[in-house]
């Protein structure tokens, strides 16, 4: 769905910049090279969006995996220091 919105937005931008939205007697036409460049640019944006969506999904998966792993390492009375990867006793007194 996002790709459709991107394509619509890019088409709208193209109309604004080329003046195709205004009434004209003879509409200008893109050359074959221009048409291919525009199509290529739109496809590059769509591909970048897909890469971004994939990276977001991979990030969420990695976060879920880490949470599950850390959840299994809980030991009553101890906390795992993620910088040293060593258990430390949970103090009853608040830190000053």
Residue with tokens 């080329």: 18
Q: Identify the CA nearest to 42 among candidates 4, 80, 72.
A: 4
Q: How would you write the pLDDT of the chain (96 residues) with one tens digit per residue?
A: 666 667 777 666 666 665 555 556 899 999 999 999 999 999 999 999 999 999 999 999 999 999 999 999 999 999 999 999 999 999 876 655
- Give the angle 91-92-96 at the CA atoms, nearest 5°: 70
Paired tokens of 25: 């007697």
């Amino acid at each position: 769905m996002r790709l459709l919105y991107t394509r619509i937005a890019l088409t709208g931008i193209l109309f604004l910049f080329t003046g195709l939205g205004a009434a004209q007697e003879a509409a200008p036409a893109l050359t074959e090279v221009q048409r291919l460049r525009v199509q290529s640019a739109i496809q590059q944006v769509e591909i970048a969006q897909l890469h971004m969506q994939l990276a977001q999904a991979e990030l969420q998966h990695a976060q879920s995996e880490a949470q599950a792993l850390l959840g299994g390492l809980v030991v009553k009375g101890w906390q795992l220091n993620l910088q040293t990867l060593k258990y430390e006793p949970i103090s009853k007194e608040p830190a000053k």
